């Protein structure tokens, strides 16, 4: 599966647009994780516990996006984007979305 953030795919021609594909991950921070992150906050810099959580959520959303695209019959996803929102205290959703397409090499 080819996934790009651009609206086209150089060297390929779009032969069919299948529609919106998406992957959604909803994650919460654990109490232990919050305590560890609070300690990191005291010292400043990168909060590695939250960075790891954010990366895991994005990767899961991306993987689900690819899976949905494959189920739709796509071999590429164009205009891929991420969106994230806090749904509740310590609960965040990450959405990966794009247009599922069928491409052929030019």
Query: For 4-46, what is each residue's pLDDT tens digit?
Result: 999 999 999 999 999 999 999 997 765 555 555 555 556 666 6
Instruction: Find residue 13's DSSP bridge partners.
Output: 104
Phi, psi dihedrals of residue 7, rounded to the nearest 5°: -85, -5
Say if CB 55 and CB 91 are below 8 A apart.
no
Phi, psi dihedrals of residue 16, rounded to the nearest 5°: -155, 135
Task: Flag whether the pTM goes above 0.95.
Answer: no
């Amino acid at each position: 599966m080819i996934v790009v953030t651009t609206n086209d795919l150089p060297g390929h021609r779009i032969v069919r647009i299948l529609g919106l594909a998406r992957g959604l991950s909803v994650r919460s921070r654990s109490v232990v994780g919050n305590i560890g992150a609070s300690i990191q906050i005291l010292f400043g810099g990168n909060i590695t516990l939250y960075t790891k959580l954010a990366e895991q959520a994005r990767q899961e959303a991306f993987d689900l996006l690819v899976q949905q695209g494959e189920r739709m019959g796509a071999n590429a996803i164009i205009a891929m984007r991420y969106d994230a929102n806090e749904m509740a205290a310590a609960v965040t959703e990450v959405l990966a979305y794009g247009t599922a397409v069928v491409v052929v090499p030019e």
